[in-house]
């Protein structure tokens, strides 16, 4: 007995729900309505073009795997997209992984995707006999370009080094270029941006981006299939090799051994090697010492948690690229609540836009708060010192640079003392760190500022009103 479109879709939802965050499931999959299943074509209705674009970019891989299992390898997924209370659907082959369609073009563009069984994978000599270099797919996401990578104090060294490498791959002292930092800080984006820039400047060069886990899987497959030599030969052909999350090779001795030989071959031929990890080489565990020493041959550049201004710039860039207008207050609210993970911050922005589109609501502080409260586990989060300074300066209508200056004007000194007071009470930063970030002062100055503010709170009603109003803005 054949399955109905509802049964197929419900089975899809069960698997998807177990594999993505609950807030993402509610945002992107609960609003979808299955319409029909005919000739192995499943038609679903999505509430807006924005939904179609986002599902296609973020979830088509997992949908494809599930639907092939449910229906068969020749399955197709067709979207009916609601546009201004009208639905439309088209049918055409889907051939590119990262389509670039804006809403104006969408009416005349295909929205039917053949979910073939040939998932995107690196082309290798052991699956394609007689492989030529020109045939190698670099596996790069065109959205991860330098133009979309916002520069700040947190990433300036890494970005500058990456750009130098892109202009002269294999010809700088930055080989290998080792980029490290926490989750969501832009390691994948920056490493792929280098690859994209190299391909633009040097089309003849062979660039390849691969995740360490994929590299490990390919190697094990080559061992099972007795094609180990082909595997090595393939990677020795690459001009710019980008390995993401190299720390995932920890404890995998055979894979490390093969990578050691590939690394040596490429480096001796002045081919560029770019590696990313969550820690600097000196802190990596489970990686052979001979590899660690080679990781230190070039430059190790870290990506730090972005400051408030950089987070705002990232959000503005994202909003601009999506052709959407948002108030500064909403952007500042997002940037002040999600401080340590750029990926989560951008995801929160996308969820807010999606909810507003779905429910035809204006994007307000209240809507942003509803979404972020669901995304951020610890609502009583630690504020950043940068954000505290900005709120205080906005309240007293003065530029942040003025607070950081050495001026002794009474109003500036008082604003600086208030910022130090809130930084001490609302962050876990040391007194020395607070002083250094607010005017370049020492810990004794911070203690004096806090004592002054506490005294004025007890004796000056107008001053207490200032503090209460600023505190409300900080806890929005």
pLDDT digits (tens, 9 = 90+) for 443-452: 889 999 999 9
Q: Could you tell me the two tokens for 338?
A: 């999600």
Average pLDDT over residues 40-66: 81
Kindly report the number of other CB atoms within 10 A of residue 335's CB atom: 27
- On the question of pLDDT at 424 being above 60, the answer is yes
Measured on CA atoms in the order 316, 322, 328, 329, is the torsion positive or negative? negative
pLDDT given at position 28: 84
> Rounded to whole angstroms, how far apart are CA atoms 368 and 330?
7
- On the question of pLDDT at 88 being above 60, the answer is no
- On the question of pLDDT at 360 being above 80, the answer is no
> Rounded to whole angstroms, how far apart are CA atoms 67 and 9?
9
Considering only 163-177, 187-201, 269-283, 321-335, which range has the smallest mean pLDDT?
Answer: 321-335
**Distances 439 to 244, 355, 446 between C-alpha atoms, Å:** 39, 41, 10
Fold adopted by 385-474: Chromosomal Replication Initiator Protein Dnaa; Chain: A; (1.10.1750)
Is CATH 2.10.109.10 correct for 308-375?
A: no
Of residues 146 and 307, the one with the higher pLDDT is 146
3-state secondary structure of 301: strand
Of residues 142 and 113, the one with the higher pLDDT is 142
Name the pLDDT band for 380 (thresholds 50, 70, 90). Answer: very low
* Cα dihedral: 100, 104, 107, 110 (round 10): -10
pLDDT given at position 109: 36
- On the question of pLDDT at 243 being above 90, the answer is yes
Of residues 342 and 294, the one with the higher pLDDT is 294
The CATH superfamily of 136-303 is P-loop containing nucleotide triphosphate hydrolases (3.40.50.300)
- On the question of pLDDT at 357 being above 80, the answer is no
pLDDT given at position 375: 66
pLDDT given at position 114: 43
Backbone angles phi, psi at 303, to 5 degrees: -110, 120
> Rounded to whole angstroms, how far apart are CA atoms 300 and 280?
7
* Domain chopping of the chain, boundaries: 5-114, 136-303, 308-375, 385-474
CB 234 within 8 Å of CB 132: no
The class that CATH gives domain 5-114 is alpha beta
For residue 413, count CB atoms less than 10 angstroms from its CB and return exposed for 0-12, middle for 13-18, buried for 19 or more.
middle
Of residues 360 and 93, the one with the higher pLDDT is 360
DSSP 189-222: HHHHHHHHHHHHH-TTS-EEEEEHHHHHHHHHHH
pLDDT given at position 2: 65
The pairing of beta strand 33-38 with beta strand 207-211: unpaired
Give percent of the chain with pLDDT exceeding 70: 85
Name the pLDDT band for 52 (thresholds 50, 70, 90). Answer: confident
- Say what the pTM is: 0.53
353 closest CA partner among 341, 338, 339, 371: 371
Average pLDDT over residues 186-198: 93
pLDDT given at position 322: 67
């Amino acid at each position: 007995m054949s399955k109905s479109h509802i049964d197929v879709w419900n089975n899809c939802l069960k698997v998807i729900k177990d594999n993505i965050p609950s807030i993402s499931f509610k945002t992107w999959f609960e609003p979808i309505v299955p319409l029909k299943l005919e000739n192995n074509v499943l038609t679903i209705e999505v509430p807006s073009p924005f939904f179609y674009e986002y599902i296609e970019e973020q979830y088509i891989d997992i949908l494809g795997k599930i639907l092939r299992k449910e229906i068969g390898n020749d399955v197709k997924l067709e979207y009916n997209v609601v546009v201004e209370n009208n639905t439309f659907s088209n049918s055409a082959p889907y051939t590119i992984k990262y389509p670039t369609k804006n809403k104006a073009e969408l009416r005349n563009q295909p929205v039917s995707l053949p979910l073939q069984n040939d998932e995107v994978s690196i082309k290798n000599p052991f699956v394609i006999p007689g492989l030529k270099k020109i045939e190698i797919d670099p596996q790069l996401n065109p959205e991860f370009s330098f133009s979309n990578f916002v520069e700040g104090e947190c990433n300036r060294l890494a970005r500058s080094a990456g750009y130098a490498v892109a202009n002269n791959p294999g010809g700088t002292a930055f080989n290998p270029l080792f980029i490290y930092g926490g989750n969501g800080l832009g390691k994948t984006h920056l490493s792929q941006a280098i690859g994209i820039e190299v391909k633009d400047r040097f089309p003849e060069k062979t660039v390849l981006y691969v995740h360490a886990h994929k590299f490990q899987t390919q190697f094990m497959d080559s061992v099972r299939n007795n094609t180990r030599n082909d595997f090595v030969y393939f990677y020795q052909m690459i001009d710019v090799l980008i390995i993401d999350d190299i720390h995932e090779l920890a404890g995998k001795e055979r894979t490390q051994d093969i990578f050691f030989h590939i690394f040596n071959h490429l480096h001796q031929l002045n081919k560029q090697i770019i590696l990313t990890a969550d820690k600097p080489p000196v802190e990596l565990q489970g990686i052979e010492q001979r590899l660690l020493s080679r990781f230190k041959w070039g430059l190790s550049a870290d990506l730090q948690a972005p400051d408030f201004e950089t987070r705002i710039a990232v959000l503005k860039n994202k909003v601009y690229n999506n052709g959407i207008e948002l108030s500064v207050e909403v952007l500042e609210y997002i940037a002040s609540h999600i401080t340590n993970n750029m990926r989560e911050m951008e995801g929160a922005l996308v969820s807010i836009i999606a909810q507003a589109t779905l429910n035809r609501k204006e994007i307000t502080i209240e809507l942003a708060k509803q979404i972020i409260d669901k995304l951020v586990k610890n609502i009583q989060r630690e504020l950043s010192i940068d954000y505290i300074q900005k709120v205080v300066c906005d309240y007293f209508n003065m530029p942040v640079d003025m607070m950081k200056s050495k001026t002794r004007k009474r109003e500036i000194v008082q604003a600086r003392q208030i910022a130090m007071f809130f930084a001490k009470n609302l962050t876990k930063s040391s007194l020395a760190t607070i002083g250094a970030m607010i005017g370049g002062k020492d810990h004794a100055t911070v203690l004096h500022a806090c004592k002054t503010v506490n005294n004025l709170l007890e004796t000056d009603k107008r001053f207490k009103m200032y503090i209460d109003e600023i505190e409300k803005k900080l806890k929005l």
